[in-house]
Amino acid sequence: MITAIVRYRLPAHIDRAACRDHFETIAPGFQSVQGLLSKHFIWSERGVAGGVYQWASLADAEAFYSGPWRDGIIQRYGTAPEIEFFTVFAKTDNEAGTVTVIEPAPAGATSVAD
């Protein structure tokens, strides 16, 4: 599993309400994206917006970000997004009451806490 954090600076005319409204409009379209497990649409008072994406694989993420999505971000906001990828080792889901180990440690490995 891969987490991607995507950030881009919004033009001054796009405030919190406009960003929220746009995200609400486009959110359903992400349900059909190949390999996308979830997306959190994010905004900050510093005028930065983006998303925190959970992907099944790095290949799925890279394919999505290199396609029309990237061109749309540049066209809409006038800047290329910053994208940082992270490998997910484990996930705690308090809503579901689950802990999932995505990439277990090899047998016999010791942790930092040992």
Q: Answer yes or no: is pLDDT of 111 > 80.
A: no
Report if pTM > 0.85: yes
Q: Please give the CATH architecture assigned to the domain spanning 2-101.
A: 2-Layer Sandwich (3.30)
* The two structure tokens encoding residue 78: 């006038």
Decide: 74 and 80 in contact? Cβ < 8 Å. Answer: yes
Residue 105 is predicted with a pLDDT of 87
Per-residue pLDDT tens digits for 8-31: 999 999 999 999 999 999 999 999
* The two structure tokens encoding residue 49: 């917006």
